[in-house]
Structure 1
Amino acid sequence: MKKLILIYYLFAFVLTVNAQQLNSIGLEMVDIKPGRFLMGDYAYGENKDESPTHIVNISRPFKISSTEISNAQYEQFDPAHRQLRRKNGFSTEDDEAVIYVNYQDAVNFCEWLSEKEGKQYRLPTEAEWEYVCKAGTLTPYAIGDRVLPKEYLKNQDIIWEPKPVSLKVKQTKPNAWGIYDMHGNVEEWCLDWYGKYTVSEKTDPAGYEKGLYRITRGGSHGTPVRYLRSSNRSALIPEDKTLYTGFRIVEVTEKLKPASFISEPIPKNGIPKASIFKWNVTDKPVFMEPLTYLHTNNAGKNDFMYHHNHCPAATWLPNGDLLAIWFSTEDEKGREMTILSSRLKVGEQKWTDPELFFKVPDRNMTGSSLFYDQQRNVVYHMNGVEATGTWQNLAMVKRESKDNGYTWSKPEFANPEHELGNQVIAGMFKTKEGWLVQPCDATPKVRGGSVIHISKDNGKTWSSPSVISNQIPVFKQGGEGTIIAGIHAGVVQLQNGDLMAFGRDDNIKAGNNYYMPMSLSKNGGQTWTYHATEFPPISSGQRLILRRLNEGALLLVSFTDASVTDRKGMQFTRKDGTTYTGYGMYAAVSFDDGKTWPVKKLITDGKEGFLNGGGFTGYFKINAQYAEPKGYLAATQSPDNMIHLFSSALHYRFNMKWLMD
């Protein structure tokens, strides 16, 4: 019976090969007749948002541009856009698809053309776009059935360095309805807000009433082939302008009816009433048994959780809760990467199950940071957002919460350019001047340095004093440069106002050995001098912590060895003055702004056992001599002076008294 219904729907299409018409800007418009089609696909995992499939009725005829809007056509509306031609080497000619246009730019173009011609132009709805793209097909691609012909492919791979290719329109075979470039070339803005599909049959749907992201469709010159399918869904922050995204338009005779919009479902669980928690400081040393904050028992069952969970950030909240976030993905270069969260509610000893925290659909989301600004009662969330896959050319976005992290402002760009230097590191802090400082990696590689971004107006605007070049810098002891030595840097402000940073790799040789690099800046991060520390280097799968404690001292948390197979360990001193060799994660404390580090302690209570560190760590042995061997670290210190340290899966809790004991 189901097969008969699908056959009926297939033959119910009224195919379009009608007259084509040129409008006043030389844009070819193709008549599209009403019809009925199957929208979406049976999908799961990263493509789950294409499901459930559902019947859509397109009840009114419309016209659609046979090609994407070109530079020459768009620049009749906005001549200033010509300055963006050749940016990053793309879209130089008149007949290449226009790029570096955001959603509002595309809407404004439609309004301009409507007024110019006395007709009604707009962006296609997502349903109209897919209806035209499929052109009566039920296969993954409208052309070539299950595999796109080679002549359609440009840079259909995960591209770290965008490689300029021609974006000329109408260079490949059109689909059955005479429409070009719906699989690749550039992504195309659609009218709709992004939201979940529902199974019910719909007529002329126009998406959600509200949302955070606008739909883009069709993939681009930098999109892997599997994401060029007719049903694949993507979206962008509406203000985003990328080298991958342009648009095409439709001409309609009637405006969309308000009833065609559906509302976002209201969350079932209400937001707890805001309360101020009373923190109690203890004079006793405290080290509590580690908790697992990242529960992976529902991996594969949770719609947004994948098998690789890593790269945490965390903060305390004024209601007494702790909030931790991290990325979840199958491939660190993947578009499926999603930011998840867990919460340790006040008085509880088990973290909540993972929940969706932040996701721009079909985009890589590498790098997160959380920071609670007690003076303003605002929680800041910073995150990287790619325009395709990989984590090289990220933009940096900011969100704020004033209700203990339960709701967040819409994402806004702290740096809208998709470029190096925006890979966020957990470790935002506030200076004595009241400035916010956000460290970021300067490179996607295992070495090459870090940078900082600074906001002097409570997160409204951001700038970076660093200068990033395309050449990999060389960090030498006593040398000077414009970025921090080492990636994944921890940064603090010293009492005299200078900045100090420790980093991973880019190690500095002193004598016969290499040591973790320290970078110092006396001019707010414009230039840095490089020095060897007394600490061993760290490397792959490891990220350190450097922060100022409530008590005024500096805290470093790092690892004794860069490798878990060739372990030399470090010397630690017991309370009775005897020494021993310890291995793994340790804490060091400085009372003189990093000149000396008299306190060094392995982070373990000495109990024998086995723990799972998640991420790249996996299971490890812990006892009086061995601690966690690697992990990406994040930390926060609550007003009761408890230090909350997070590795890739575990939550450690201890205080300064325990470190000193």
Structure 2
Amino acid sequence: MRLVPIQAGVFHMGSERDGEDADEQPVHRVSITMPFLMAVTEVTNAQYEAFDPAHKTLRGKMGFSKADDEAVVFVTYDEALAFCRWLTQKEGKPYRLPTEAEWEYTCRAGTTSDFSTGSKLATAYHKSQKTDRDPVVVSLQVGQSPTNAFGLHDMHGNVEEWCADWYGPYRAGEQINPTGRISGLYRVTRGGSHGTPVRYLRSSNRLGMLPSDKSWLVGFRVVQAEAVTSTPLPAEPATAVMQQVAQKPFVWKTVSSTKPIFMEPIRYVNKPVCTAGIPFFSHNHCPAITWCPNGDMLAAWFSTNEESGREMTILGSRLRSGKQVWDEPSEFFKVPDRNMTGTSLLHDGKGTIFHLNGVETDGDWKNLAITFRESHDNGASWSAPRLADPEHTKRNQVIAGLLQTREGWLIQAGDADPGPTGGTAIHVSKDRGQTWINPYTDPQKPEYQNGATGGLIAGIHAGVVQLKDGSLLALGRKDDLPGPDSSGPRMPMSVSHDMGKTWTYQASEFPPVWSGQRLVLFRLNEGPLLLISFTHHPDEANEGKNGLLFTGESGKTMKGYGMYAALSYDEGKTWPVKKLLTDGNYRFLNGGAWTGAFDMDATHAEPKGYLAITQTPDNLIHLVSSSQHYRFNLAWLKQLPVYP
């Protein structure tokens, strides 16, 4: 392993970029007072496997890093530390990971520009520098790009590199040998990688990962030096959604089982004031919702400019007990510079709130791992996130609708493919989230035909419920089946009698759901199954010929359009109650995300939206679309509207 001496010096760390790169602010003067030696390249397979021969089984995983002189990948933060300890003992010299400040200092190599090469990065450094939904295999051979002025290769790209610091916001003012935060959730990675747009290879760009995570994008390099002893910054305080959370248990008063209740829809996605410093982006979508023991409602969703963006973060908000306006949102969960598609929340009814989330390697939503954490104090604090499924792969796009079975097991649905079709997989935990299994084992996508089996629910974004006999029932989007008598396609219904290992399929009586729409399937506290879906897609031609006929008082029917509810009292065999989700009053509302503005009246409800649902112990039903919060009860669902 070749090392070069790095002399002490001073540089300005960070950049003045805004938006998703605001974590590079403020620019601050940093003094590196202790010289050190730094490896000229990242640690290679041959070097790492002298410490851990078993790692050779990971060579070539997903096609990457097969040769001795390619950068080692699929290494966690703790494994990188263990290598440094082994090398220290072997050579009798101190080895460690660089601090984030040391890394940027050596990457810049005396420059102040975006790259050590100037404002642009020459093609000699490029290795498929774009977001690759299907990873493009390239050579990770070290030392092939030109060195910078300090004699270091591969500081821009090849693979990301673990740094010693916990990730956290910078502090203003001059600093000497900074070491980041004293604690945190994520460790810093730097440098960008192959399969990444060039902008993420800049000298100042900050990334981070869960310490237990590993992928084909991340390796590390070492420095030879004693540990930096400067005092770290304090831990980052909790964001607003986790602050001033009441802990007194709420006394729920059951709403009337006979008096219909439909409350005025309210927005839960509220744009924060400009000065709030909250990472609120243009596209807010894909919500989850649950209730808290203190009477609060807790919602979370992703905020991003592009659904395939690395800026995507999970925001959260509260409707605090007794209030009628949701709090301004604040950041709820974010692994730095990773796409975060898919969020799920569930209160188990006994004081524990579960949160599952997808985490990408980069900016797409195909190769997601699943993280899991829990709260025992109404969401004021959370356990450190751990990987429910550590493999960054398909089947892991988390869908709101985490289910607790009668056995106490947790079932989490996840899209099996990033496209518009491809089905839904389920993940099962029999120990309250400590370990998870995926019943799906067939790598081939099954064909959805009546009576077929294959381990996947028909349709993406599926809602799943457990039936009284212990089997599972699911409804999903796309993979539609033909209806009776050539009546057009129908939403597929899937049933499993072996906890998701195999499924049978048949056409339901419901119209398909389309892009920009996500249904919910839920068992109410009172017993019936509740489906909330959409009559049709509003972008279809001839809208007047679409919609559904709804029956009102005295048996009169009227065609309605948009979001509707259906009730089943016989475990999904029949759905005798169908009702448009409107109280008939005119409203001008905005559904956000792909929905936008819409009119609500007696025959029109919200036309699109991703739905999530919960029911509080008082039996009030809480439904959120991509922006709106609806509240109603079973008595209202059963009340037939009066049509003129």
Change (3 A) 1:381 1:299: farther
Q: 1:571 aligns with which of 543, 549, 557?
A: 549
- 2:239 and 2:548 map into 1 onto residues whose CA distance is 52
Q: 2:601 aligns with which of 623, 642, 645?
A: 623
Change (3 A) 1:62 1:83: same
Aligned-pair CA distance for 1:468: 5.0
8 Å CA contact 1:188–1:247 kept in 2: the answer is: yes
8 Å CA contact 1:467–1:483 kept in 2: the answer is: no
Q: 2:427 aligns with which of 453, 456, 459?
A: 453
8 Å CA contact 2:184–2:236 kept in 1: the answer is: no
Summarize deviations over 1:336-385 as a string: whole Å, max 9, x none: 0000011001111100001110000000000000000113x210000000
Identity %: 55
- 2:152 and 2:76 map into 1 onto residues whose CA distance is 23
Farther off after superposition, 643-652 or 459-468: 459-468
- 2:602 and 2:554 map into 1 onto residues whose CA distance is 15
Aligned-pair CA distance for 1:274: 1.3
Aligned-pair CA distance for 1:429: 1.0
Q: 2:383 aligns with which of 391, 403, 409?
A: 409
Q: 1:195 aligns with which of 148, 156, 168?
A: 168
8 Å CA contact 2:255–2:620 kept in 1: the answer is: no
Aligned-pair CA distance for 1:480: 2.2
1:465 aligns to 2:448 (yes or no): no
- 1:626 and 1:337 map into 2 onto residues whose CA distance is 32
Q: What number of residue pairs does the alignment pair up? A: 630
Q: Residue 275 of structure 1 aligns with which residue? A: 248
- 1:97 and 1:522 map into 2 onto residues whose CA distance is 46
Aligned-pair CA distance for 1:588: 0.1
1:286 aligns to 2:264 (yes or no): no
TM-score (ref. length: structure 2): 0.96
- 2:73 and 2:524 map into 1 onto residues whose CA distance is 47
Q: Residue 435 of structure 1 aligns with which residue? A: 409
The within-5 A match list for 1:332-481 is 332-375=307-350, 377-469=351-443, 471-481=444-454
Farther off after superposition, 452-461 or 479-488: 479-488
8 Å CA contact 1:203–1:260 kept in 2: the answer is: no
SS at match of 1:417: strand
Q: 1:554 aligns with which of 511, 529, 535?
A: 529
Q: Residue 215 of structure 1 aligns with which residue? A: 188
Farther off after superposition, 150-159 or 311-320: 150-159
8 Å CA contact 1:370–1:379 kept in 2: the answer is: yes
Aligned-pair CA distance for 1:589: 0.1
In the alignment, residue 423 of structure 2 is paired with which amino acid?
Answer: G
Change (3 A) 1:265 1:336: closer
Give ranges in structure 1 of 5+ residues lacking alignment: 1-26
- 2:142 and 2:80 map into 1 onto residues whose CA distance is 17
- 1:148 and 1:341 map into 2 onto residues whose CA distance is 37
Summarize deviations over 1:240-262 as a string: whole Å, max 9, x none: 0111100000011x3321x3312
1:260 aligns to 2:231 (yes or no): yes
The within-5 A match list for 1:167-182 is 167-182=140-155
SS at match of 1:651: strand
Summarize deviations over 1:143-177 as a string: whole Å, max 9, x none: 2x111111211121111011111000011111111
Aligned-pair CA distance for 1:474: 2.5
Q: 1:540 aligns with which of 515, 525, 538?
A: 515
Q: Residue 582 of structure 2 aligns with which residue? A: 604
Aligned-pair CA distance for 1:303: 3.0
Q: Residue 498 of structure 1 aligns with which residue? A: 471
Q: Residue 643 of structure 1 aligns with which residue? A: 621
- 1:297 and 1:236 map into 2 onto residues whose CA distance is 27
The within-5 A match list for 1:49-68 is 49-68=23-42
Q: Residue 564 of structure 2 aligns with which residue? A: 586
1:231 aligns to 2:226 (yes or no): no
In the alignment, residue 597 of structure 2 is paired with which amino acid?
Answer: Y
Cα RMSD between the aligned structures? Answer: 1.3
Change (3 A) 1:131 1:263: same
In the alignment, residue 140 of structure 1 is paired with which amino acid?
Answer: D
Change (3 A) 1:48 1:625: same
In the alignment, residue 465 of structure 2 is paired with which amino acid?
Answer: V
In the alignment, residue 251 of structure 2 is paired with which amino acid?
Answer: K
Aligned-pair CA distance for 1:39: 0.6
Q: 1:206 aligns with which of 151, 176, 179?
A: 179
1:132 aligns to 2:132 (yes or no): no
The within-5 A match list for 1:67-82 is 67-82=41-56
Q: Residue 24 of structure 1 aligns with which residue? A: none
- 1:351 and 1:650 map into 2 onto residues whose CA distance is 11
8 Å CA contact 1:516–1:537 kept in 2: the answer is: yes
The within-5 A match list for 1:81-92 is 81-92=55-66
Change (3 A) 1:524 1:276: same
Farther off after superposition, 196-205 or 271-280: 271-280
8 Å CA contact 1:299–1:307 kept in 2: the answer is: no
- 2:270 and 2:405 map into 1 onto residues whose CA distance is 35
In the alignment, residue 643 of structure 1 is paired with which amino acid?
Answer: I
- 2:499 and 2:607 map into 1 onto residues whose CA distance is 34
- 2:595 and 2:263 map into 1 onto residues whose CA distance is 21
TM-score (ref. length: structure 1): 0.94
Summarize deviations over 1:462-519 as a string: whole Å, max 9, x none: 00101352x5442122322220000000000111111110000110012311100000
Aligned-pair CA distance for 1:89: 0.5
Change (3 A) 1:309 1:72: same
In the alignment, residue 336 of structure 1 is paired with which amino acid?
Answer: E
- 1:272 and 1:328 map into 2 onto residues whose CA distance is 23
8 Å CA contact 2:181–2:236 kept in 1: the answer is: no
The within-5 A match list for 1:104-119 is 104-119=78-93
Change (3 A) 1:266 1:514: closer
8 Å CA contact 2:442–2:454 kept in 1: the answer is: no
In the alignment, residue 436 of structure 1 is paired with which amino acid?
Answer: L
In the alignment, residue 638 of structure 1 is paired with which amino acid?
Answer: T
- 1:558 and 1:498 map into 2 onto residues whose CA distance is 22
- 2:539 and 2:276 map into 1 onto residues whose CA distance is 32
- 1:102 and 1:397 map into 2 onto residues whose CA distance is 15
SS at match of 1:191: strand
SS at match of 1:88: helix
In the alignment, residue 435 of structure 1 is paired with which amino acid?
Answer: W
Aligned-pair CA distance for 1:43: 1.2
